[in-house]
Amino acid sequence: MTQTAAVLISQLSAAKAAAMLQHTPEERRTEIMARAATIYSLAPGTLQALVDGLEEMFVPTNGHKQTGGDTFFSFLMDIVINLDRTIQEAMLEDLGQRAPDLAVRIEQGLFTFEDLLRLPDRALQTVLRSVDSNILALALKGLEDEDRARVTENLSERANQALAEEMEVLGPVRVTEVEEARAKLAATARELEEQGEISIDYGEVSYIE
């Protein structure tokens, strides 16, 4: 039944799928989401048989049923964003135990480095004060001038000087190092929110496809 429910939510709009999950017993929500994330690992015949069996219950989709795993993951992200915050947090905590890789990917998708740059000044300043200048220097590597200015304008004079010194001695770096540094900044923002230091409106941020 869990697999059938997972296929069912894959055919609904994100808002309706979230509403369905919110009325599903707590102990089953996470399992359904974890199963939904593996929809595209099913043999085509198996998936089609399940879809055919539920066909009369389906509503038109926005294309996530017919397309690949990355687009389907963005659909799962939409579902999570549409969940009540309390349910969202409980599900992510449970997913961390059942499917840690999926939980990390969803958490990263809920709030990214690009979203960080769109935080209000005060929240952005709080995040920037919480990271080392070497991490920040890596994160700014290759960043557009406008986005870099968004960061430097929210640093103190002393922090800007330390950042400039770090960037001056920073030679060529791997793309993965830059991505990791940016992920650390986003993770720091999420940690600060959990501590009540800043507020993040996940309904307004983007997600990774």
pLDDT tens string 74-126: 778 788 877 887 888 888 888 888 888 888 788 777 778 888 999 999 999 99
Residue 129: CB atoms within 10 A of its CB come to: 13
Residue (of 79, 70, 68) closest to 32 by Cα position: 79
Q: Is the alpha carbon torsion for 91, 93, 94, 97 positive or negative?
A: positive
| Burial class for 122, CB neighbours closer than 10 Å (0-12, 13-18, 19+) | exposed
pLDDT band at 199 (very low <50, low <70, confident <90, very high): confident
Structural domains in the chain, sorted by start: 2-110 (1.10.220.30), 113-201 (1.10.220.30)
Q: What is the arithmetic mean of pLDDT over 177-197?
A: 89
Residue (of 49, 44, 50, 43) closest to 3 by Cα position: 50
Helix (H, G, I), strand (E, B) or coil at 199: coil
What is the percent of the chain where pLDDT is above 90? 29
